[in-house]
Amino acid sequence: MICVVCPVGCHLRVSADGDVYMVEGNQCGRGKVYAINELTNPLRTVTSTVKINGSPMTRLPVKTKQAFPKGRMLELMSVLGKVELKPPVKRGQAVLKNVLDTGIDVVATKTCLDNRV
Ligand code: SF4
């Protein structure tokens, strides 16, 4: 796999002996952590939009505040599809707290004030 933690893009080779993972090709420790996480519990920062009423904007961009378990993304998208907000919402404001009991918040990435976009 290719490490995407930084622009160097090291080509990683991972082998496993039971629960012990050996990573080669990484130029730093972050690459080893990335490779093992990708195999055991891949995480992604999720960006999406949610419905907002009372504004010409109609959809408000949001993202998970921390990286979210990749295997639960469909559940997350289902929850986000049911969210309906009303202005004002400020950038960085949590629009969903502890989503799906993960301890992760979903936050607005844009401010929406009343009928101004
Ligand atoms: S292993 Fe380290 S240096 Fe290589 S891409 Fe990953 S973070 Fe960058």
Measured from the Cβ of residue 31, the count of other Cβ atoms closer than 10 Å reads: 24
For ligand 1, the distance from its centroid to the CA atom of residue 46, given in whole angstroms, is 22
Band the pLDDT of 114: cuts 50, 70, 90: confident
pLDDT tens digits, 16-52: 999 899 999 999 999 999 999 999 999 999 999 999 9
Cα-based distances in Å from 74 to 23, 31, 46, 64, 100: 30, 27, 11, 14, 11
Would you state the pLDDT for residue 116?
A: 58
Pairing of strands 84-85, 47-52: parallel
8 lines ligand 1 (CB under 6 A): yes
Q: Return the residue whose CA atom lies nearest to atom 3 of ligand 1.
A: 27
Structural domains of the chain, ranges and CATH numbers in brackets? 1-40 (no CATH), 47-108 (3.10.530.10)
Would you state the pLDDT for residue 115?
A: 62
- Tell me the three state secondary structure of residue 22: strand
This prediction's pTM: 0.80
pLDDT tens digits, 50-87: 999 999 999 999 999 999 999 999 999 999 999 999 99
Hey, which residues does 63 pair with through a beta bridge? Answer: 47, 107
